[in-house]
Structure 1
Amino acid sequence: MKSCHFCTHKAPIHEILSALRNGLFAGIRFCPKCKCIKPDRAHHCSICGQCVLKFDHHCPWVNNCVNFYNYKFFLLFLGYGFLLCLFIFFTDLPFFIEFWTKDYQERNLKASKIHLLFLVFVTGMFAISLSFLFFYHLYLTARNRTTVESFRAPILEGGPDKRAFDHGIRANYREVFGYDQRLWFFPVFTRFVASSLALISPTDCRGGFAACHP
């Protein structure tokens, strides 16, 4: 978890986050609870008690905020969980069908029916739930948007704009997963792109598009 005080970090000019230009009244975004300036896309988490960069939501399942620094791992967590539930569901489904279509008299086999019913039902429900959440966040990643921004568009100088930080699908996925596509599906840290495109709107790129897409 990172506080908003990271904005004092010294970095190349194209990596410095804009905190002065944007916001509700095109001015400084200030958090009265943290008593500090908030960069674009930073929001205060009432549960963690601090401002979080690219705040998506506070997830009770991982007991942490889903944000700029761990969004890749959250997506992989959803993907891994979805695939695991599918694997268990389809592995047990043939046995489930057999147990409930044939009359087994043995007591231990009758007890297994309940176990299989529970396992198939639970993994099926979790697979459906995780699939909706996983593919929804893949969509948000493709648009470089957070859950908060999907309900309330960022308000910049020109007004509300849901695509304010959209650099294109390829660049948006690189911002989350890194440049090396071989590491996309592994829970390892990858280099943050331009520290990052997630926090820079396309119109902020100085020196042309290449300045924000090294």
Structure 2
Amino acid sequence: MKWRRFVSFPILAVLVLMEMVYYGTVFVFLDDWLGLQSPAGWINAVIFTSLASFTLFSFFVSVLTDPGGVPSGYFPDIEDNDGSDQESRDAEALKKRCDKCPAYKPPRAHHCRVCRRCVLKMDHHCTWINNCVGQRNYKAFFLLVAYGTISSLYSSVIIIGCGIQKDWDSTRTTHIKTFYITSGAVISLLSLTLGTLLGWHMYLLTHNMTTIEYYEGTRAAWLAKKSGQIYNHPYDVGVYRNITMVLGPSIIKWLWPSSLGHVKEGTSFPTVRDTL
């Protein structure tokens, strides 16, 4: 069952971290700074709770959504070029067969050693969600990183604001000072980590590229440069279209991780050649 994916130390660690950040931000630092009974404190608590809720929901969707497996009975479409015979086409088809599982691989699909199957448009296997990131849950993963980054930055502002206004001269306990410094350092490190990851996936999103394809493209570009050619990622069909292929054509639904009506079967994708 999908819920068994939560029986994992990394996932439990993420859930505990989320709980600690939320509790500390709202009921310790925000309450100490503005007071939860004040209008400013209440408004900030509502905003941060909303961000934390979206982060948690995106996390659940990332964990529980199947990334996309190769459809049963899939066979690659081999073009009949120059009157090639059936034997030649069969040989071409064998090149697209996975050597680790009894299935043919569609374009952009890769075999995951952890999941022990081929995953459509596989980006990577993420330990922190105990699941592959692929065709059907990449949007949820991207929004998880985005909401997590915004939440951690918001928490950083609250901790810094609380620290600035606090009367440290009257605070003689060194444990409180250590707690503030440690909390600020941890949340700043978390913000930096998530922000870097978000920047990376924004680059991949706008170029319609997966992490695997990025590294494959790096080698392809190097080989093309040696032969005096220029390598272009075949699935990069323009920034806006690249974004809509992942987040959807409706901007209103971009921020909802479970809105997947626009996601196709994942066995074929438009290329630059199709737009010419």
Equivalent-residue separation in structure 2 for 1:183 and 1:84 (angstroms):
20
Moved over 6 A (4+): none
% identity of equivalent residues: 28
1:116 matched to 2:186? The reply is no
Equivalent-residue separation in structure 2 for 1:7 and 1:53 (angstroms):
15
Does the CA-based 8 Å contact 1:19-1:40 persist in structure 2? no
Q: Which runs of 5+ in 2 are unaligned?
A: 1-65, 80-90, 225-229
1:60–1:190 Cα change, 3 Å: same
**Larger % of helix: which?**
2
* Map of 1:41 onto structure 2: 108
Q: By how many angstroms is 1:7 displaced?
A: 6.2
Residue number among 115, 123, 129 corresponding to 1:56 in the alignment: 123
**Larger % of strand: which?**
1
Does the CA-based 8 Å contact 1:165-1:200 persist in structure 2? yes
Residue number among 66, 86, 91 corresponding to 2:133 in the alignment: 66
SS of equivalent residue, structure 1 residue 152: helix
1:90–1:26 Cα change, 3 Å: farther
TM norm structure 2: 0.61
1:132–1:26 Cα change, 3 Å: farther
Q: By how many angstroms is 1:65 displaced?
A: 0.7
1:175–1:195 Cα change, 3 Å: farther
1:127 matched to 2:197? The reply is no
Equivalent-residue separation in structure 2 for 1:192 and 1:123 (angstroms):
35
1:56–1:72 Cα change, 3 Å: same
Equivalent-residue separation in structure 1 for 2:103 and 2:116 (angstroms):
13
TM norm structure 1: 0.77
Q: By how many angstroms is 1:141 displaced?
A: 0.8
Equivalent-residue separation in structure 2 for 1:59 and 1:162 (angstroms):
27
1:67–1:7 Cα change, 3 Å: farther
Question: Aligned AA for 1:48?
Answer: C
1:196–1:46 Cα change, 3 Å: closer
SS of equivalent residue, structure 2 residue 132: strand
Q: By how many angstroms is 1:186 displaced?
A: 1.9
* Map of 1:5 onto structure 2: 71
* Structure of larger gyration radius: 2
Equivalent-residue separation in structure 2 for 1:172 and 1:130 (angstroms):
22
- Over aligned residues, Cα RMSD in angstroms? 2.9
SS of equivalent residue, structure 1 residue 62: coil
Equivalent-residue separation in structure 2 for 1:97 and 1:162 (angstroms):
50
Q: Kindly report which structure 2 residues correspond to 1:77-116, keeping only aligned pairs within 5 A, or say none.
A: 77-98=144-165, 102-107=168-173, 110-116=174-180
